[in-house]
């Protein structure tokens, strides 16, 4: 078996065209994804329960040698379907895409949306904090570096056990790599999913077909002053719905409203023309840490938190395999015409990027203390509601003043977005990143104009 694992590891590395995976005892992803894990023997007359594993993701290419400490998801084993109390071994590999080596301190930490950063998981742990004892190093560290050194361009294979809870259902484990005591590495939006079935006749559905992540090869330009610049269009939407028959300001409502039909046509255009959606976190990592983005990156952002964000936008984004960023105004949540608190969490649980749009939809052209209240409290509420670390902000109505950057910094935000159009993003203006509005009632052409700014 050991020999077969080693051979499979080498084959996987060759498929990716990068340095061989380390350590040598990496899991046989193809073998682990071949179907049956092991049937249980039911009492006579009982329905059997057979454990299976879906196909995994083979190695994915990524740009290496990026200055600093960086990582990219390289491969992973498939999602398992287990019987209550059953267990399996998970393999997840990360490529060291940075210029620095990992000196025994690389690890996988628990992350959002479930169970949240550094929180125990129902799927595994060390027996502390309510976690089951599955030989993790800690309740929030599924995997740790098993080799003394992983150099640039080399792969670290993390292996850890998960155990099915007693109650059938679908369980998720958010994961993110880190260098212990040093820094969190890029967020790969990696949610490992485990389905627990009662028996072979009662099987909860796992997520749909696996779509390998797009290779990340698009790097920001480094200027002589050390700043970084990259072109990333950030498209701003408000309503994605049909126009109402009446509105107090119909001219503005028309401009802010893109029909569901037009929005779907825009997504089709983006998909057919090779665009890849990214999040506020992705853009920040690229500007701050020179992290690579996928080719033709684009951000789809949705302001205010209207009800159609959940009922219309989310299903369409999921249908086309895209991610959106939702800038939510806290005090509009649970009001008529807006999303509920549960729907805010559902957006985050679906892998969407939920970020801050202040406590109230008011101008930020205010004194410093007023802005600090609007920004800090909104971050507190949204982080609590989503189970994620909300660190990015969009100015309501695009308004800001000379104090806004100070307020954002004091509240712990990493970036802020204005509305004046443009797509050239720079690390010298982290609190004044660009967005372009997609005007309503103009079809796909409105998005093309915003893309070209």
Give burial (CB, 10 Å; 0-12/13-18/19+) of 208: exposed
State the Rg of the chain over Cα: 23
In angstroms, the CA 120 to CA 429 distance is 37
Of 76, 82, 117, residue with least CA distance to 95 = 76
pLDDT for 214: 84
Q: Where in the chain is the domain with CATH 2.60.40.10?
A: 2-210
Give the per-residue pLDDT at 99: 94
**Taking phi first (over 0 means left), then psi (-120 to 50 degrees means alpha), and beta for anything else, what does residue 236 get?**
beta
Q: 328 φ, ψ to 5°?
A: -105, 130
Q: In 10 A of CB 336, how many CB atoms? A: 5
Per-residue pLDDT at 187: 86
Mean of all residue pLDDT scores within the chain: 88
Rounded average pLDDT over 328-336: 98
pLDDT given for residue 206 in this prediction:
66
Tokens of 58: 């083979």
Residue range(s) in the chain whose domain bears CATH number 3.20.20.370: 217-451
- What pLDDT score does 24 carry? 32
Report whether the peptide linkage leading into residue 266 is cis, meaning its omega lies within 30 degrees of zero: no
Please state the rounded mean pLDDT for residues 273-280.
Answer: 96
Confidence of residue 55 (pLDDT cuts 50, 70, 90): confident
Give the pLDDT confidence score for residue 2 in this predicted structure.
Answer: 34
pLDDT in tens, 366-423: 999 999 999 999 999 999 999 899 999 999 999 999 999 999 999 999 999 999 889 9
Smallest CA-to-CA distance from 312 within 271, 353, 276, 258 is with: 258
Give me the mean pLDDT over the 112-133 stretch: 92
Which CATH code is given to the segment(s) 217-451? 3.20.20.370
Higher pLDDT, 57 or 219: 219
Helix/strand/coil (H, E, C) string of the chain? CHHHHHHHHHHHHHHHCCCCEECCCCCCHHHHCCCEEEECCCCCCCCCCEEEECCCECCCCECCCECCCCEEEEEECCCEEECCCCEEEEEEEEEECECCCECCCEEEEEECCCCCCCCCECCECECCCCCCECCCCECCECEECCCCCECCCCEEEEEEEEECCCCCEEEEEEEEEEECCCEECCCCCEEEEEEECCECCECCCCCCCCCCCCCEEECCEECCCCCEEEECCEEEECEECCCCCCCCCHHHHHHHEECHHHHHHHHHHHHHCCCEECCHHHHHHHHHHCCCEECCEEEEEEEECECHHHHHHHHHHHHCCCCCEEEECHHHCCCCCECCHHHHHHHHHCCCEEEECCCCCCCCCCCHHHHHHHHHHHHHHHHHHHCCCCCEEECHHHCCCCCHHHHHHHCCCCEEECCCCCCEEEHHHCCCECCEECCCCCCHHHHHHHHCC
Q: What is the pLDDT of residues 98-121, one digit of tens each?
A: 999 999 999 999 988 789 889 999
Q: How many CA atoms lie within 13 Å of 411's alpha carbon, on the beta-carbon side?
A: 32
- Residue found under tokens 């895409």: 97
d(CA 11, CA 102): 24
How many CB atoms sit inside 10 A of residue 221's CB?
11
Cβ atoms < 10 Å from Cβ of 448: 13
pTM of the model: 0.71
71 has pLDDT over 90? yes
Question: What pLDDT score does 319 carry?
Answer: 86
* Contact yes or no for 75/93 (Cβ under 8 A): yes
**Largest Cα–Cα distance in the chain?**
75
Q: Which residue has the higher pLDDT, 151 or 60?
A: 151
Task: Judge contact between 301 and 394, C-beta under 8 A.
Answer: yes
State the CATH architecture for 2-210.
Sandwich (2.60)
Contact 317, 324 (CB under 8 A): yes
For the cut 60, the answer to whether the pLDDT of residue 12 exceeds it is no
Region 198-204 average pLDDT: 84
Output the CA angle 352-356-358, nearest 5 degrees. Answer: 155
Q: Is the pLDDT of residue 39 over 60?
A: no
Q: Name the residue with higher pLDDT: 21 or 162.
A: 162
Q: What value, to the nearest 5°, has the Cα angle with vertex 151 and ends 148 and 152?
A: 160
State how far the Cα of 211 lies from the Cα of 21, in Å rounded to an integer. Answer: 22
CA 327, CA 356: separation in Å to the nearest integer?
5
Beta partners for residue 193, in sequence order: 172
């Amino acid at each position: 078996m050991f020999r077969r694992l080693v051979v499979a590891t080498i084959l996987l590395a060759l498929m990716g065209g990068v340095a061989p995976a380390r350590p040598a005892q990496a899991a046989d992803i193809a073998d682990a994804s071949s179907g049956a894990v092991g049937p249980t023997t039911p009492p006579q007359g009982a329905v059997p329960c057979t454990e299976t594993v879906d196909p995994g993701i083979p190695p994915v290419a990524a740009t290496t040698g990026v200055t600093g400490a960086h990582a990219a998801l390289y491969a992973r084993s498939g999602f398992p379907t287990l019987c209550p109390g059953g267990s399996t071994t998970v393999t997840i590999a990360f490529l060291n895409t940075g210029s620095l080596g990992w000196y025994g301190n690389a690890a996988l930490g628990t992350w959002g949306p479930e169970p949240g950063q550094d929180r125990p998981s129902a799927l595994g742990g060390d027996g502390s904090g309510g976690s089951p004892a599955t030989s993790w190093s800690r309740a929030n560290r599924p995997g740790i570096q098993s080799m003394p050194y992983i150099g640039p361009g080399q792969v670290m294979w993390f292996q850890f056990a998960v155990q099915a809870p007693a109650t059938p259902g679908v369980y998720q484990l958010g994961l993110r790599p880190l260098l212990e005591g040093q820094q969190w590495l890029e967020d790969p939006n990696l949610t490992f999913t485990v389905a627990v079935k009662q028996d072979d006749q009662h099987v909860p559905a796992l997520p749909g077909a696996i779509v390998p992540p797009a290779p990340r090869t698009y790097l920001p330009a480094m200027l002589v002053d050390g700043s970084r610049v990259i072109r990333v269009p950030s498209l701003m939407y408000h309503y994605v719905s049909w126009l109402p028959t009446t509105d107090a300001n119909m001219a503005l409502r028309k401009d802010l409203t893109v029909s569901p039909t037009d929005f779907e046509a825009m997504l089709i255009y983006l998909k057919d023309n090779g665009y890849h959606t990214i999040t506020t976190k992705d853009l920040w990592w690229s500007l701050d840490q020179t992290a690579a983005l996928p080719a033709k990156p684009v951000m789809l952002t949705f302001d205010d938190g209207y009800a159609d964000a959940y009922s219309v936008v989310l299903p369409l984004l999921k249908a086309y395999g895209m991610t959106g960023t939702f800038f939510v105004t806290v005090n509009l949540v649970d009001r008529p015409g807006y999303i509920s608190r549960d729907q805010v969490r559902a957006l985050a649980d679906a892998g969407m990027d939920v970020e801050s749009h202040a406590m109230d939809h008011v101008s930020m052209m205010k004194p410093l203390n007023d802005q600090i209240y609007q920004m800090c409290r909104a971050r507190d509420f949204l982080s609590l509601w989503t189970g994620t670390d909300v660190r990015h902000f969009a100015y309501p109505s695009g308004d800001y003043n000379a104090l806004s950057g100070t307020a954002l910094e004091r509240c712990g935000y990493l970036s802020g977005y204005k509305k004046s159009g443009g797509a050239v993003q720079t690390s010298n203006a982290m609190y004044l990143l660009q967005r372009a509005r997609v005007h309503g009632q103009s079809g796909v052409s409105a998005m093309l104009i915003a893309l070209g700014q």
